[in-house]
Amino acid sequence: MPFAHWDPVRELLSLQERMNRVIDQTLSRSHSEGELSSSGAWSPAVDLYESDKSLILKAELPEVEQSDIELSIDEDRVTLRGQRRLKEELSEKQFLRMERSYGPFHRTFEASTRRKSKQSSSEGC
């Protein structure tokens, strides 16, 4: 029975890489202006802006089905919820490396003005 070679330096570098990624994601999200809350297994990048007639939210949601996305507007708050699912034909056991996050996400932002007519639209993912 052959023994697998254990490289402690490689393990430490891998751990450091993962920790750096977690810290970077946390810091980049914690300084987001106007964001009231964020939670979940991952957090998509978002642009939120106003035009003359509407409030527009664009989010990077690769491999998220439209049926798994919920957008709501409540007074001065815009909430984006959803979930990115691991495809059924894949299992975690098949991966050699898994860096992308899967599971639920939730982000709530403060809209800059109150709107009498609330409009929302979903653009392509």
In the chain (125 residues long), the average pLDDT of successive 10-residue segments reads: 76 84 66 61 87 90 94 90 84 76 89 52 50
Any domain includes 38: yes
Instruction: Report how far residue 70's alpha carbon sits from residue 114's, in angstroms, rounded to the nearest whole number.
Output: 21
Give me the number of domains the chain comprises: 1
Q: What is the pLDDT of residue 39?
A: 66
The predicted structure's pLDDT at residue 31: 47
Q: Alpha helices, DSSP H only, in 4-113?
A: 8-30
Q: What is the pLDDT of residue 116?
A: 40
Identify the pLDDT of residue 18. Answer: 83
**Residue at 124: amino acid letter:** G
Report the CATH number at residue 63: 2.60.40.790
Which residue reads 């939730």 in tokens? 106
Whether residue 75 is contained in a domain is answered as yes
Domain containing residue 59: 34-88+99-110
- Kindly report the pTM of this predicted structure: 0.59
Is 2 a domain residue? no
CA quadruple 50, 45, 23, 10: dihedral, nearest 10: -160
CA distance 93 to 1: 22
Looking at residue 68, its pLDDT comes to: 96
Q: What is the reported pLDDT for 101?
A: 84
DSSP label at residue 91:
-
- 5 located within any domain: no
Pairing of strands 103-110, 35-40: antiparallel
Residue 6 within any structural domain of the chain = no
